[in-house]
């Protein structure tokens, strides 16, 4: 995973004018990196995170679906946050996480943010070995 230059680590660029941030994660990412990114935006009001998860990254993203980790991250860095949207796109036939446990870990957000809803949908389609969609049987 790429690391930050020591200059940025010790003296991060602060952007107080950023009010909305839309982040799409398609590769490795951890909460330390997210913590650093959010610490650079002290006046953030809206955070939109889209995570595109594939089975090739599954062993490396052990807690990306942990709502308690997201809560800790946001309470530490985004004191003025009013809107938090998070989208998970899971492209994996081997997704072994317990969906009820994942949903329960995000309960905090349903009371913290007005109109924050948590819904799930499991597609009747999956990827076949050639990377094309096929209906699950």
The string of pLDDT tens digits covering residues 33-80 is 899 889 999 999 999 988 877 666 555 566 888 889 999 999 888 888
Note whether residue 105 is domain-resident: yes
Note whether residue 101 is domain-resident: yes
Note whether residue 1 is domain-resident: no
pLDDT at residue 133 is higher than 70: no
Q: Tell me how far apart the alpha carbons of residues 23 and 86 are, in angstroms, rounded to a whole number.
A: 10
The tally of domains found in the chain comes to 1
Higher pLDDT, 12 or 118: 12
Q: Which two tokens stand for residue 54?
A: 């594939």
Note whether residue 55 is domain-resident: yes
pLDDT in tens, 100-116: 788 888 888 877 777 77
Note whether residue 35 is domain-resident: yes
Note whether residue 17 is domain-resident: yes
Note whether residue 21 is domain-resident: yes
pLDDT, residue 117, reads 67
The percent of residues above 90 in pLDDT, for the chain, comes to 18
pLDDT, residue 33, reads 85
Strand stretches in 26-121, DSSP E = 46-54, 83-91
The residue segments making up the domain with residue 122 are 6-135
Note whether residue 116 is domain-resident: yes
Q: State the pairing for strand pair 20-25/46-54.
A: parallel
Q: Which two tokens stand for residue 90?
A: 């899971």
Q: Which two tokens stand for residue 109?
A: 């957000």
């Amino acid at each position: 995973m790429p690391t930050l230059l020591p200059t940025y680590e010790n003296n991060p660029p602060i952007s107080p004018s950023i009010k909305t941030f839309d982040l799409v994660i398609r590769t490795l990412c951890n909460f330390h990196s997210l913590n650093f990114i959010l610490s650079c935006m002290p006046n953030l009001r809206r955070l939109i995170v889209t995570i595109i998860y594939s089975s090739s990254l599954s062993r490396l993203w052990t807690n990306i679906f942990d709502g308690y980790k997201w809560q800790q991250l946001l309470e530490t860095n985004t004191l003025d946050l009013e809107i938090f949207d998070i989208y998970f796109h899971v492209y994996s036939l081997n997704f072994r996480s317990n969906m009820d446990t994942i949903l329960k870990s995000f309960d905090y957000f349903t009371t913290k943010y007005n109109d924050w809803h948590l819904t799930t949908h499991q597609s009747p389609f999956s990827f076949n070995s050639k990377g094309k969609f096929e209906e699950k049987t």
